[in-house]
Amino acid sequence: MLRRLSSTSIKNIPKNSFARRGIITKSIRLKCAQVHAASPHFASTPRWASTAAALKISESTETIPRSTLPSSRIDDRKVVIGFENGEWARFHHMWLRDHCRCPQCFHSVTKQRLVNTFEIPRDIKPMKVESKPEGLEVIWPSSQPHVSIYPWSWLRHNSYDPQLPNQQSLSSEKILWGSKICETPPTVAYEDVTASDDRGLYKWISNVDKFGFSFVSGVPATTEATEELVERIGFIRKTQYGEFWDFTADLSRGDTAYTNIALGAHTDNTYFTDPCGLQVFHLLSHTEGSGGETLLVDGFYAASLLKELHPEAYEVLSKVGVPAHAAGEMGNIYTPTPQGAYPVLSHANGELTQVRWNNDDRSVMNRLPPADLEAWYDAIRLWNKFLTSSDSEYWVQLSPGTVVVVDNHRVLHGRSAFTGKRRMCGAYVGVDEYRSKLNVLKEKFEPDQVSLDTTPYGSSDGRSVWNPLL
Ligand SMILES: C[N+](C)(C)CCCC[C@H](N)C(=O)O
Ligand SMILES: O=C(O)CCC(=O)C(=O)O
């Protein structure tokens, strides 16, 4: 959830002035601090609060005695854990047995479940539970002889009844940006990204995770070096345009990218069920002409402004599916499955997770109830207004040696028209390959507390079976 904490609601801002020049707004997760340059559009410069809200579950009616270990007791269908700080959580017996991660129940190398969930009696109940230093020990009934141990930090992280606060958030903060990002664009040097210790690679991918894009400077202006760089993130995603592309304005493929016309801010692959995660561009040369500037727009930033100032339009863009196609070559007609199922703004758990927008590739809007049609067009007009505002647009002239990688689920890209001979190369990487690499590098450089707490007795290969991502 991206929220801004401020003493002045943004709603006091005049309806049509949406520029938040220079705001860099971080998502609010467990802590929030806002950095912003007061915008002339603000009726009054809001004081951004910074707060680290740590709420305590005070639902418990029990006063659980403080002790060096959490308390544990068996209820009729759940085990109740009383943590040292007074918080408590309950876990169903069935859930505990299903989540045993001893070597018999969970493959310690493949990290796959071995226990047969469906042979666990629905009314299974522990014979005994005991609080041990390494975690909750559960002794299951002799009819189902088994002893399980659940690390305390893992139980707390996975609490669901209730879900305890302050669990280390596994999703990282997002820094939303407008045109002022041009002052400090996220950049990592090629020599760092290609260093064998992967620290620079982690910095690069972390930039993408945080900002939705990042440059790499000092890259040899060759397809070979660029391809190798992309593959440090993950294998290249092959599409109807090939694998690693080296393209120019020759219409060699049935898409306007292979022309010299201007392309408005868009995300690629809206015609795929699963649009690529990353898109990499490296301008190798541009001679005998001009133009061809690259446009980047933070779709999450634009969406956050739309949500604040035109919540009804935000709602429409979050609900109405948009059909799309790629049909520029006789050998294929791509449409997502199901066609028209995916809105401009997708959400999960109430959070904006993906922007899908390419008005050029949009097919016929033939599923809208007639009464909603004008509202949808009004919504995309507002959306376009936010995307194309000088406050949102970040124009940058790429040059040989500078690679840009873009999170195609968040940042829109485009280009200005150009003349002359322009050669661009790059590739797609799947969203899961990108996120997997980020997970692996986080595990290496910034391991989460649960993994740290449990690795001593939860891993055979350096990856804890209690890793909270599993
Ligand atoms: C392969 N390369 C990136 C050069 C061009 C791909 C065309 C992308 C298409 N216009 C879309 O919006 O998905
Ligand atoms: O040529 C460019 O700079 C970008 C082309 C483009 O938008 C694309 O290939 O998706």
Rounded Cα distance, 117 and 81, in Å:
23
Looking at the structure, tell me whether residues 114 and 183 fall in a common domain.
no
pLDDT tens for residues 111-143?
999 999 999 999 999 999 999 999 999 999 977
Residue type, 322: V
Question: Looking at per-residue confidence, does 233 or 41 come out higher?
Answer: 233
Does residue 302 lie in a domain region?
A: yes
Does residue 466 lie in a domain region?
A: no
Does residue 94 lie in a domain region?
A: yes
State the pTM of this model.
0.86
Q: Residue 29's pLDDT is what?
A: 40
Choosing from 223, 241, 355 the residue with most ligand 1 atoms within 8 A of its CB, the one to mutate for a pocket test is 241
Does residue 1 lie in a domain region?
A: no
Question: Which of 406, 27, 55, 51 minimizes the C-alpha distance to 216?
Answer: 406
Going by alpha carbons, the residue nearest to atom 1 of ligand 1 is 241
Domain closes at, from 164, 195, 224: 164
Looking at the structure, tell me whether residues 156 and 256 fall in a common domain.
no
Looking at the structure, tell me whether residues 394 and 296 fall in a common domain.
yes
Question: Which of 324, 277, 312 minimizes the C-alpha distance to 429?
Answer: 277
Q: List all residues 6 or more positions away from 456 whose beta carbon is below 8 Å from its beta carbon.
A: none
Q: Quote the DSSP letter at residue 117.
A: G
Question: Which of 135, 102, 103, 140 minimizes the C-alpha distance to 120?
Answer: 140
pLDDT tens for residues 408-445?
999 999 999 999 999 999 999 999 999 999 999 999 99
pLDDT at 109 exceeding the cut of 70: yes
Rounded Cα distance, 385 and 399, in Å:
29
Q: Please report which confidence band the pLDDT of residue 52 belongs to, taking 50, 70 and 90 as the band edges.
A: very low
Beta carbons of 337 and 316 less than 8 angstroms apart: no
Beta carbons of 10 and 308 less than 8 angstroms apart: yes
Of ligand 2's listed atoms, the one at least distance from the Cα of 247 is 1
Looking at the structure, tell me whether residues 280 and 333 fall in a common domain.
yes
Residues with CB under 6 A from ligand 1: 241, 245, 247, 255, 257, 266, 268-269, 358, 361
pLDDT at 46 exceeding the cut of 60: no
| CATH classification at residue 413 | 3.60.130.10
Place of tokens 């210790």: 197
Q: What separation in Å is there between the alpha carbon of 415 and the centre of ligand 2?
A: 7
Polymer length in residues for the chain: 470
Rounded Cα distance, 446 and 305, in Å:
32
Percentage of the chain exceeding pLDDT 70: 84
pLDDT at 30 exceeding the cut of 60: no
Per the structure, the complete domain to which residue 320 belongs is given by 178-429
Going by alpha carbons, the residue nearest to atom 6 of ligand 2 is 257
Residue type, 244: F
Rounded Cα distance, 218 and 221, in Å:
9
Q: CA distances (Å), 252 to each of 248, 272, 329, in order?
A: 8, 21, 10
Cis bond upstream, residue 162 (ω within 30): yes
pLDDT tens for residues 67-81?
589 999 999 999 999
Rounded Cα distance, 29 and 421, in Å:
47
Looking at the structure, tell me whether residues 292 and 186 fall in a common domain.
yes
Rounded Cα distance, 82 and 244, in Å:
55
Rounded Cα distance, 356 and 362, in Å:
10
List the structure tokens of 10: 């943004």
Going by alpha carbons, the residue nearest to atom 7 of ligand 2 is 414
Rounded Cα distance, 307 and 212, in Å:
19
Q: Please report, in angstroms and rounded to a whole number, the separation of the first and last CA atoms in the chain.
A: 23
pLDDT at 95 exceeding the cut of 90: yes
Q: Residue 144's pLDDT is what?
A: 72
Looking at the structure, tell me whether residues 128 and 254 fall in a common domain.
no
3-class SS of residue 427:
strand
| CATH classification at residue 93 | 3.30.2020.30
Choosing from 263, 407, 408 the residue with most ligand 2 atoms within 8 A of its CB, the one to mutate for a pocket test is 263
Going by alpha carbons, the residue nearest to atom 3 of ligand 2 is 415
Q: Residue 31's pLDDT is what?
A: 37
Looking at the structure, tell me whether residues 234 and 365 fall in a common domain.
yes
pLDDT at 35 exceeding the cut of 90: no
Does residue 113 lie in a domain region?
A: yes
Looking at the structure, tell me whether residues 102 and 159 fall in a common domain.
yes
Rounded Cα distance, 237 and 70, in Å:
48
pLDDT at 234 exceeding the cut of 90: yes
Looking at the structure, tell me whether residues 239 and 328 fall in a common domain.
yes
Within 209-325, strands assigned E span: 213-217, 236-237, 245-247, 263-266, 278-287, 294-298
Percentage of the chain exceeding pLDDT 90: 79
pLDDT at 170 exceeding the cut of 70: no
Q: CA distances (Å), 345 to each of 270, 307, 319, in order?
A: 12, 11, 8
Q: List all residues 6 or more positions away from 61 whose beta carbon is below 8 Å from its beta carbon.
A: none
**Residue 164 in contact with ligand 2 by CB distance below 6 A:** no
Does residue 147 lie in a domain region?
A: yes
The domain tally of the chain equals 2
In this structure, which ligand is nearest to the CA of 404?
2
Question: Which of 170, 218, 171, 174 minimizes the C-alpha distance to 193?
Answer: 218
Question: Which of 24, 156, 183, 185 minimizes the C-alpha distance to 86?
Answer: 156
List the structure tokens of 106: 């969970």
Beta strands 88-92; 187-189: pairing state: unpaired
Q: What separation in Å is there between the alpha carbon of 375 and the centre of ligand 1?
A: 29
Rounded Cα distance, 55 and 143, in Å:
42
Q: What separation in Å is there between the alpha carbon of 146 and the centre of ligand 2?
A: 58
Looking at the structure, tell me whether residues 272 and 393 fall in a common domain.
yes
pLDDT tens for residues 278-328?
999 999 999 999 999 999 999 999 999 999 999 999 999 999 999 999 999
3-class SS of residue 321:
strand
